[in-house]
Structure 1
């Protein structure tokens, strides 16, 4: 324990480099793009500020035009050269499956409230559309952040601005676990399929337990192993900070997202 084992393989058809890292007693597969996108040239702290700004916009925007503009902004950034979502694209599946249910819940709720189907339909569709746009913006922003950010560098940048180390550890650990959870879901689904479970049956509530219980047990064990490894390595003590360096592109992106937040808040 303590050594990192790194193996690399290429995929020319998708411009990817697959990296297998053994660390903290865990095997992690990570796909890295062989081409560098604009987002990957930004400082991790800048991308964290962008994520916070988009979150503020999502919760305070009332205009569909603002949300639509931010959604287009996300699409442009996420569709940039060198960004490959990998298995994180499967996070869009539950979102798409939830769309009909969300529309039905909003329409029925307003229909009951106003006792008028046409009024309930109009208000339900408009409000559910705003709600789904908010969820989609958050989903795309988080995928974009996870796929283009080195969490170790993010931790160093947060330490450089004197963020408490426990908060830094919490933030970086949460974002590290997101791709790992998606990877485990994919593996569990493959195992269940080999046992005869058809993919269409995953939509049935009674089929959730064979997926959820192994996922919970695996991640609880992984969290325990990570905590034990960090304690043995002395990682719970604050490490030395490095100077924070922001380029003009970082300041431009921060200013742009600050302007978006101010417009959203009406300041």
Structure 2
């Protein structure tokens, strides 16, 4: 499962979403995260879900590929849904079976929160799938440029976040290799008491941390020998260009927010 994890990966393509300026995509995703909290009823959540599926379609990403790569996160979403079913005790009683009681408000809130979590995960994953790490770095640095006036190291922060994002799939691949190696040596991580399972995880964590620090050290040395000294005085080979499609995506977002506000009033 870990080798199929797609969060943080970049898949080259030529879709409408791929051709967008990274600044417009970053701005859109940030504003979308805020706009999601405007939803408060069935119509608004249905609109968010439909819009997210539309973005997936125009990004030319297969749903099977997307959901198969997000299985660990989907498990967390399902767990959140079940927790609301069990622990929210408001509204009419729908199911009363032995010690399990499920109420109408628990079902409603569980579905709403799960959809909110799902669309946030999908939209941020689409960003990383359709935008290369170097483009994310350039776009983030450009958007944060005004903060240089207060002496904030914008370039270093953008680079740090980009490297962190890029290392997510790398660490997932490394974890999967170590896990398979431990299983081949007879380690059992799925049975026994909780204490025994924690002990079994230690042989997995130690080599993972060692590998992560080794990769970080290699990266630091590589950057140093190439003369990296921060953002001051650096030029860019790839120039960002804001085009009509970038303005269009922002206008679409404004229409989405207007629709959410209008549908909220219908609650």
Secondary structure of 1:39 counterpart: coil
Check the 8 A contact 2:10/2:131 in 1, yes or no: no
Matched with 2:73 is 95
Matched with 1:229 is 222
Call closer, same or farther: CA 1:101–1:150 in 2, change over 3 Å.
closer
Unaligned residue ranges in structure 2 (runs of 5+) = 1-8, 95-100, 147-153
Q: Which has the larger radius of gyration?
A: 2
Matched ranges for 1:194-213 at <5 A: 194-195=184-185, 201=190, 206=197, 209=201
Matched ranges for 1:227-266 at <5 A: 227-238=220-231, 239-240=234-235, 244-264=240-260
Call closer, same or farther: CA 1:57–1:233 in 2, change over 3 Å.
same
Q: Does 1:172 align with 2:162?
A: yes
**TM superposition shift of 1:215:** 4.0
Q: Does 1:45 align with 2:23?
A: yes
Q: CA RMSD in A?
A: 3.7
Matched with 1:219 is 212
Check the 8 A contact 1:84/1:147 in 2, yes or no: no
Cα distance in 1 between the residues matched to 2:120 and 2:207: 27
Call closer, same or farther: CA 1:189–1:80 in 2, change over 3 Å.
farther
Check the 8 A contact 1:53/1:258 in 2, yes or no: no
Secondary structure of 1:139 counterpart: helix
Q: Does 1:77 align with 2:73?
A: no
Unaligned residue ranges in structure 1 (runs of 5+) = 1-29
Aligned structure 1 segments of 4 or more residues deviating by more than 6 angstroms: 84-88
Cα distance in 2 between the residues matched to 1:170 and 1:75: 31
Q: Does 1:151 align with 2:120?
A: no
Matched ranges for 1:179-190 at <5 A: 179-190=169-180
Q: TM-score, normalised by structure 1?
A: 0.69
Give CA-to-partner distance per residue, 1:80-113, whole Å, 9 cap, x none.
46546998755522233335532332233223xx
Call closer, same or farther: CA 1:258–1:93 in 2, change over 3 Å.
same
Q: Which protein is richer in strand relative to its size?
A: 1
Cα distance in 2 between the residues matched to 1:193 and 1:211: 10
**TM superposition shift of 1:160:** 4.2
